[in-house]
Amino acid sequence: MASQFVTTVLMMVVIFQTSVDAECKEVARSNDELAQSLPAGSAIQKRAAIDHPDCGQRPLAGTADGSEPFTVGAKEATPNSWPWTCSLQRFGSHICGGSLIKNKEGDYFFLTAAHCVSDSDFNAGSYLVRCGIHNLQSSAEPYEEFLDLKDLTRHPSYSSSTFRNDIAIMSLNSNPTETDGLFAVCLPASNAETDDGEYWYTGWGVFYPGGSPLTPVLNEVTMQIVSDDICDGTYGSFFYAPTMVCVSMYGTGGHAACQGISGSPLVAFRNGGWELVGVASWGYDCTQTANPGVYTDVYQMESWINSVIN
């Protein structure tokens, strides 16, 4: 009797599992058909094509998969198309850029360069993060959110004299509302120097010598990772390869911006989503195209980042 009962139960489990598998396949097929039937530019279809469902999405980008073609020099970005790029402001004025990231539980943090916040005694009330914006001079934009800061964690080995480990994370008083124009970037799955893919810098700054004090609209620049030897030859011992990335503008050389870029993200399109590769840190004499920019290597900092946010 007992063996007959066990056999009956096992048959029921097999039948149930077969039914569940069939239903799951039908749902997946229906979802695929739905995504394919949507307009090519729809945000839902763009999300369906991305392997990173919780980060690195660009629903408002000009391409269906969120990728971006190479360009030479800085250009105005499509509004709200880089939804993790934010402005760090002190007493209402832009001082640095930065990126929204989030932990495994979905809590948001703001990542920037450590030298952007030089206060020895950090006063959160003096700063705020302005996200979901395109034009800094606009009084209100559809995706805009002001994020209040709670605390600051600089890398414990940050040096203000050498800019080594130039990275900091700020916790927020509350999570922002995720929208097509406000979303987190992914942390990197591999080293910045392991591939020859496209890299993009986004931020607000002075992009040409003798330019205006600050471009009010978000700009984007195609960048390339260059040999550490180039930064060694330009900056000598100030360039520290274990935690820094040597970067120059695609097609023209130079380090993309003369002022206002610190903390801003360098990102790469990988595995169907955008990953944070570098944090703008320093450079010398932007009038010289031979002088590359130096970014903090986020991949080398990832263990520390996870220890802070998780």
Helical spans, DSSP H, in the chain: 2-37, 43-48, 228-235, 302-309
What is the SS3 assignment for 30-78? Answer: HHHHHHHHCCCCCHHHHHHCCCCCCCCCCCCCCCCCCCCCCCCCCEECC
Is 155 noted as a catalytic residue in this protein? no
Measured CA to CA, the distance from residue 308 to residue 301 in angstroms comes to 11
Measured CA to CA, the distance from residue 65 to residue 277 in angstroms comes to 19
* Pairing state between β 293-297 and 127-131: unpaired
Spell out the residues 6+ positions from residue 167 whose beta carbon is closer than 8 angstroms to its own: 111, 112, 113, 114, 154, 155, 158, 279, 296, 298, 301, 304, 305
Measured CA to CA, the distance from residue 25 to residue 248 in angstroms comes to 47
Is 134 noted as a catalytic residue in this protein? no
Catalytic residue (one of 52, 115, 155, 255): 115
Is 166 noted as a catalytic residue in this protein? yes
Find, among 34, 33, 66, 28, the residue nearest to 47 by Cα.
66
- What does DSSP assign to residue 165? T
Phi-psi region of 171 (alpha: psi -120 to 50; beta: other; left: phi over 0): beta
Catalytic residue (one of 52, 87, 166, 264): 166
- Return the bridge partners of 219, or none: 76, 203
CB atoms within 10 A of CB 170: 23
Catalytic residue (one of 81, 87, 248, 262): 262
- Return the bridge partners of 171, or none: 109, 151
List Cα–Cα distances, 128 to 150, 152, 163, in angstroms. 10, 12, 23
As annotated, the active-site residues are 115, 166, 262
